[in-house]
Amino acid sequence: MRERWLRALPALIGLLLFIGALEVLRRELHAVTWPALSADVRGIPGVQLFVALLMTWIIGWTASEAEGWVREFVTYMASVSHLDSFSKGTLELKDVVYFLSIITLGLFATNRAVEAHRWS
């Protein structure tokens, strides 16, 4: 029983990191687009989360059209490629750093957007 949990632990960590990154992206979209959106759309956080999730998959789709270093860069930026290692049961440092950097940069950008909105 314990071995099953040890094999599932990287997948759970990856899922939590992915959810954290999506939540930060949702908050950034909310902070940036708050004045521009109507009250109907602002009240639906699920729509904003869906848009953030869709953006991560669209980035991955564009990798198939690119070539060379652009393809490698776009593939690295797509969150789907970083979830693969977690789903296989391996915990790679590059994937953890990827999600933690998205969370950190997203929180910083959200803070800046809220501060800019507060002073305008």
pLDDT tens-digit readout, 3-40:
777 778 888 999 899 889 888 887 887 777 766 555 55
The Cα diameter of the chain in Å comes to: 57
Task: Write the DSSP string, 20-40.
Answer: HHHHHHHHHHHHHHTTTS-HH
**Which of the pair, 1 or 106, is modelled with greater confidence?**
106
Among the listed residues 35, 44, 43, 47, the one whose alpha carbon sits nearest the alpha carbon of residue 116: 35
Q: What is the DSSP letter of 43?
A: T
45, pLDDT greater than 80: no
Domain definitions of the chain by residue range: 2-119
Q: Is the pTM of this model over 0.85?
A: no
Given this model, what pLDDT does residue 17 score? 92
What pLDDT does residue 104 have?
A: 95
